[in-house]
Structure formats: structure tokens, C-alpha cells
Structure 1
Amino acid sequence: MTSVPLHPSGSGQTVTDAHMLSPAGTRTVDSSELMRSARFRKEREADWQRLETLVLRAERKGLQKMSFAETRDLASLYRQATTSLAIAREISLDKALLGYLEALTARAYLCVYAPQQRLGGLFQRFMSAGAPQAMRRSWLYILLGFLCLGMGALAGYLLYFENADWFYVFMPGELADGRGPDTPTGDLRSVIYGHDTGTTGLGAFATYLFSHNTRIAIFVFGLGVFACAPAILLTFYNGLILGAFFALHVDRGLGLDIAGWLSVHGVTELSAICIACGGGLKLGTAVLFPGNKSRVAALRRAGHDAVKLALVAALMLVVAALLEGFARQLVQDMSARFLIGWGVGALWLTWFALGGRRRT
């Protein structure tokens, strides 16, 4: 009786001709069938073992680290194994052999045809092409997000100078932190240029503002699918808060000072809100105006870019947090604050405008 060593799961299992025999008394196996099955395995066993070795190497290291000859053999042996599996289903009496070949060909299929891009490669492709291309395709929706924020800021600014009590209407108590139209100018100036990095003054305001803006960014993206209205209203309301807060300092002659303080992290942080709003608006318009597609199909198509916009906004919020935690506290010069904030903004704009463009 012949035996052929096969290792379906690395356990060193030996498949013998005895496995082809049914329980005693249930079936009589012709000797020619036994010989044909044994010869079939013997002729192909070396190729199967070679394929299994290459599959294990591909699973552990990836195709990128395999040589050209190995990848060529992997594809060739995979095709041979599928042919062997089809033949084995017709002539073999060994269920263990069939199970081994099915498992081996399935693993080899994933190695040959499944996407081989690793997490680092996906991130690199997103940063180099996917994100900036999605930004350019969605420029109109992002512009609408900036427009909503700008109109809200202008409304809050003008309403404050019409009646300073509007400050208390727009500004949440946690954000105001005791500041208002009655706060002395000296106190406002001291917290702008003070070195207090604790939980008081503008330090506490900036921390709460970042948390607030992060929630707003999540909401304007997630709720934009509901006919765009929630995204527009939330972005506009965030602008009202910004406009009223800025007007308070302009009224005391501290307009440039507070603009420099906000620029360090605000250029990146507020842009992230507008980009998230643009993603939400893109989803909402797909629902409202699906065109000749179904709403599900239109939403699925718009979602490809909208999700990328949300990821860009999340990345920008992380950068804004770093700028707020370090640069804003360490840099006290107004000009330097403007340079940092708008310089980082220029880098974002350069990435969005030039990233992923193909050379001609």
C-alpha cells in the first residue's frame, strides 16, 4: 500500500490509500481505481508542496518581497492546482485529498488575485492622490461650506455691534467662560498674551472650542445626508459664535490680537469644519438630486469622495490640536502667530491643489 504525505494545515498528516476505503461492508473498491488515484497524487504531489511553500511565503511576507521567479511559479502552480482539483473530484476516492486541494487553491487564489496593498501603501496612496483629487472634485461643496461659515461669522459680527447682548444669545456659557461685553479690556488682553497654559482664560476657551468644533465637524458630515439642512445650519451657527467672539475683541481694539491668536490653529480647524460640511452637502445633494440614478446608487457614488473629505477633516483636526497645544502657547508674537497659522493653511492649499496631478 502506497502513502503520500500531504500537509493541509501544517500538521504533517499522511494520507494513505486506506482513506479511500469506505467502511467495511458498504463498498468494494476496484484495484484499478486505487492505482489510478495513487498515481494521480504521486505525479502532482511535488507541485502541490511547492505551491504550498510559495503560498506560505506570500501570506507571511507579501508578494512585494518575493522574487519574480517565485511569483511566476505561484501563478502557474495555482492554475495547475485548480486543474488537479477538477480532476480529483472526478477520479479520486480520498476526501482528505479533496479537502487539501480546495483549501490550497483557495489560499493561492487570495495570494494571486486579492489586492496586495498594505496599510502603509493605502495611506500613501490616500495622501498622494486620493485625498487631493477628492478635494478638487468636491470644490463647489467645500466652497459652500466656507460660505455658510463666513455668512454666520458676518451675521454674528454685525448683530453684536447692533446690540452687544447678542453675544450671550450666540455664545454658550462654557465657551464664554465669564467673558462678555462687560469684561475689562485689560483682562481680555492679558489672556491673549499671557503665559497661562492651564485651564483658565483662553487656554480653557481653546480646549473647549476644539472639542466643540470637532463635534460640529462630525455632525455636519453625518447629518448632511438629511437634505443638507442640518449641515448648513450647524456650520452657520458655528460662524455666529466665531463672529460674536471676534466682535467682542474688535470692540475693545483687540481685533488683530485675537485674529492672530485664532490663526495659529483656527485656520486649520475651521477649514476642517468647512470640508466636513462639504462632504455632508455632497451626500445631501445626492439624496435630493440623484439624476438618472437611484438614490442608493447616487449616494454610493457620492460617498466615495465624501468619506475622503471626512478623513481629511479628521487629519486637519489632529494637526489643529497639535498647533493649539504647542504653537499657540509657545508663540506670543502676533506676527509670528499669523505666519504660523496662515503658513500651515498655505501648505494645506498646496496639497489640495497640486497633489495627485499626473505629469504629462
Structure 2
Amino acid sequence: MADVTLKSAVFRREREKTWQELDGIVTQIEKRGVRSLTPEQCHRLPLLYRATLSSLSVARSISLDRNVLDYLETLSTRAYFCVHGARGSLFGYLRNFLLVDFPAAVRAARWHLVVAALLLAGGILAGHALVIADSNWYHSIVPEGMAGGRTPDASAEDLSKILYDPPGENEAFLHVFASYLFTHNAGIGILCFGLGFALGIPVFLLMFYNGLMIGAMTGLHASKGLLPDFVGWLFVHGTTELLAVALCAAAGLVLGSAVALPGTHSRLENLRREGRRAARIVIGAVLLFLVAALLEGFARQLVTDMTARYSIGIVAGLLWAAYFGLAGVGRRDG
């Protein structure tokens, strides 16, 4: 009996620090969740878990006292659920993504977003100035399919009808149109993201050209005395859609800067690290494209009052600013 007690004391003294460290990490997870762990603790958790399982196996084989066995079995069970247990429901993942991961990734890429927004704004100003100076620029900038009858040859009355006429019996068309807008705009955004690895250069060109097209249209309507009307028509969905485009461009610039400026990491390693954050931004931007498509396909034509259109756009912009500025602050920024 004395020999078993001595073996138990020696066994416990040699391994107790490992058990205590694992116990501390498991307790922290149980109280505050896995996201409260530091990178070092995440690395140590599976190592400590395997070491504790090994201790439990040895303790059983040499028949140590029941107290040590009970403690190790309990600790191993608790650690098992931390390492291999249920990871949460789909709803839980979606909620965490929308309330923490997505806004945190956008805040971390805020300077890339600023650059993307400046490129878009520069294109808008350039396109507007070119069309105001010479309306022939409009045909060079805006594809015929996208113009939809909005050309310099159209009268102010015709352009006004496009901006204000209700859908009437064509409401079914709005459903198809919203679906088309979602897939088209999401495709452009993902293209910006996908080409980002080429040092971000294609992203610069795509954003500036998108701005040119919008600016050409504002210049056209300004020449007909309809600039406030067009901006209001665009504002309903534009604050959301242009934000989504800028987010995709920012994600592409994140990839480009990861390749161009790898820092202390290799380019491949830095691209892997930054690619995760960029992917979160793009996934969230696709959701914004969906919201924008619904606004563009339905609210923009169903709401014909200019004040209401401006109000919808401004409220949407303020809501997005509050969301990205406040959601999940302090939990996972950076």
C-alpha cells in the first residue's frame, strides 16, 4: 500500500503542472469561450490534452489511487469537448460572422477601403467632367446594353420617365431584374477580389472605370437638368451597392498588399494569412449585394418620391456606418 502511495505521489509531482495548465485553459473556455484564448493557448491545448490522455493511460495501467484516476478522467472528458466537441450550429456561425468576424475584418482593412472609395470617387468626377465637356464621351464610357435608352440623344422628358415611372403591370419583371443585378454585381465584386493578387493593379482599373460609368451618367442627367433626380434614383440602392463594390475592391487590395509588402513573412505565408481576412470581407459584401439588388429591383421603382428616395439612401448609409463602426468592437478587431 505504501508503495502504491509513493508511486502516486511521484507520478503526480512529475505531471501535475501539465494537468493544471490544461485545467486552466479548459476552465477559461467553459467560462468565456474559445475566442478568449491567446494564439499560444490555442497551440498548447491539443498538446496538453494528448499529454493528459497519456497520463490517464499510465495511471490506469499501474493502478494508481482512485483520486488521481477520477481527476484525470474528469479533466480528459472536459478537454475532449473543448478539442473535439460540437462546434456550434449554423445559426451560431452566421450570427458570429455577421456580428463579429465581418465588421472586424472591414475595420482591419479600413485603409484599403479608403483607397477603393477614392478610386471610385475619382472615376465619378472624371466621367462627369468628360461628359459635361463633350457628350460624345458618353458613348465611349457607357456600354450600350447598360445605357438602357439613357443617351445624350434622349430628351429630358424621356429620361424623367425612366427615373419616375412606376412598374405598373411589370412587377414580375422586377423579380427577374433583382436576381440579374445580384449575380451581375456580385460577379464584378468577386472579380475585383480575384484579381487582387496581381499587386492590386487590376482593382485600381476596375474601380476607376466603374466610377467613370457612374460619372458619365451623372454628367448626362446634369446636362438635362435632372442631376438631383438621378442621384435620388441612384441613392436608394447606391449607398449599399457601391459600398459592396468598394468592400470587394478593398479585399482585393488586401491581397495585393500581402503580395507586394510581405513584411517578416514569406509572400505565400502572408497571402494565406491576409487571404482569410479578405475572404470574410468578400462573403459579407455578397450579402450587401443581395440587399442592394432587392432595393434596386423593388424599392427604387416602387418609391417615386424624391425625398423618400434620398431618405432611404441616407438611412441605409447611416445604418452601414453604425454597423461597421460598432458591431463586435473589442471582441475580434485586427
Tell me, yes or no, whether TM beats 0.5.
yes
State the SS of the aligned residue for 2:196: coil
**What is residue 113 of structure 1 aligned with on the other side?**
83
On the 8 A contact 1:155/1:243 being kept in 2, the answer is: yes
CA contact (8 A) 1:264 1:340 kept: yes
Contact kept? 1:275, 1:313, Cα under 8 Å: yes
Q: What letter corresponds to residue 337 of structure 1 in structure 2?
A: R
Provide the C-alpha distance between the structure 2 equivalents of 1:276 and 1:80, rounded to a whole number of angstroms. Answer: 46
Structure 1 runs not aligned, ≥5 long? 1-62, 64-78, 89-106
Change (3 A) 1:271 1:181: same
Which residue of 2 is the match for residue 303 of structure 1?
Answer: 275
SS state at 1:180 partner? coil
Query: 1 CA distance for matches of 2:319 and 2:134?
Result: 39
Distance change (3 Å), C-alpha of 1:263 and 1:204? farther
2:187 is matched with 215
Report whether the alignment pairs 1:250 with 2:222.
Answer: yes
8 Å Cα contact 1:175/1:205 also seen in 2: no
Compared with structure 1, are the counterparts of its residues 83 and 234 closer, same or farther at alpha carbon in structure 2 (3 Å cutoff)?
Answer: same
Determine the structure 2 residue equivalent to 1:127.
98
For the Cα contact (< 8 Å) 2:232–2:306, is it kept in 1? yes
> What does the per-residue CA deviation read over 1:214-236, in whole Å, with 9 as the maximum and x for residues that have no partner?
22211111111111011110111
With normalisation by structure 2, the TM-score equals: 0.72
By how many angstroms is 1:126 displaced? 1.3
Contact 1:196 1:203 in 2 (8 A): no
Give the Cα–Cα distance (whole angstroms) in 2 for the partners of residues 254 and 202 of structure 1: 24
Larger relative contact order (CA 8 Å, sep ≥ 6): 2
Which amino acid in the other structure matches residue 277 of structure 2? D
Matched, 1:328 2:297: no
Larger Rg: 1
Alignment partner for residue 272 of structure 1, among 232, 238, 244? 244
Displacement of 1:312:
1.8
Change (3 A) 1:188 1:181: same
Alignment of 1:193 onto 2:164: yes
Secondary structure of residue in 1 paired with 2:187: helix
The residue type equivalent to 1:314 in the other structure is V
CA shift for structure 1 position 303: 1.4
Task: Give SS of 1:223's match.
Answer: helix
Aligned position for 2:206: 234
SS of the aligned residue for 1:157 comes to: helix
Give me the whole-angstrom Cα distance separating, in 1, the residues matched to 2:253 and 2:231. Answer: 28
Unmatched tracts of structure 2, length 5 or more? 1-29, 31-51, 62-76
Aligned residue among 289, 313, 320 for 1:317: 289
For residues 231 and 214 of structure 2, what CA distance do their matches in structure 1 show? 11
Conserved? CA contact 2:190–2:248, under 8 Å: yes
Q: By percentage of residues, which structure has more helix?
A: 2
Superposition deviation, residue 323 in structure 1: 1.1
Change (3 A) 1:80 1:232: closer
Q: Which amino acid aligns with 1:260?
A: G
The size of the alignment, in residue pairs, is 268
Q: How far apart, CA to CA, are the structure 2 residues paired with 1:137 and 1:208? A: 31
Q: Is residue 269–residue 317 contact of structure 1 (8 Å, CA) maintained in 2?
A: yes
Offset at residue 85 of structure 1 (A): 10
Cα displacement string for residues 5-60 of structure 1 (whole angstroms, at most 9, x for unaligned residues) = xxxxxxxxxxxxxxxxxxxxxxxxxxxxxxxxxxxxxxxxxxxxxxxxxxxxxxxx
Q: Distance in 2 between matches of 1:144 and 1:328?
A: 28
Letter paired with 1:113: V
Q: Equivalent residue for 2:196?
A: 224
Match of 2:109 among 138, 144, 156: 138
**RMSD (Å), alpha carbons:** 3.2
> Relative to structure 1, is the Cα distance of residues 253 and 302 closer, same or farther in structure 2, using a 3 angstrom cutoff?
same
Aligned-partner Cα distance in 1 for 2:108–2:183: 29
Give the conservation status (yes or no) of the 8 Å contact 1:268–1:344. yes
In structure 2, the partner of 1:174 is 145
1:57-96 per-residue CA deviation (whole Å, 9 max, x = no partner) reads xxxxxx9xxxxxxxxxxxxxxx8899569989xxxxxxxx
The one-letter code sitting in structure 2 at the alignment partner of 1:320 is: A
**Secondary structure of the corresponding residue to residue 224 of structure 1:** helix
Equivalent position SS for 2:154: coil
The alpha-carbon deviation at position 114 of structure 1 amounts to 2.4
What amino acid is aligned across from residue 131 of structure 1 in structure 2? F
Q: Which of 322, 325, 328 matches 1:353?
A: 325
1:211 Cα deviation after fit: 4.9
User: In 1, distance between residues paired with 2:326 and 2:197?
Assistant: 29
Give the aligned residue type for 1:149: L
Alignment of 1:48-127 (within 5 A): 111-114=81-84, 116-127=87-98
Q: Spell out, residue by residue over 1:297-323, the C-alpha distance to the aligned partner (whole angstroms, 9 max, x if none).
A: 111121122111102211110111111
Amino acid at match of 1:126: F
Taking only the aligned residue pairs, the percentage that are identical comes to 41
Which letter maps to 2:224?
R
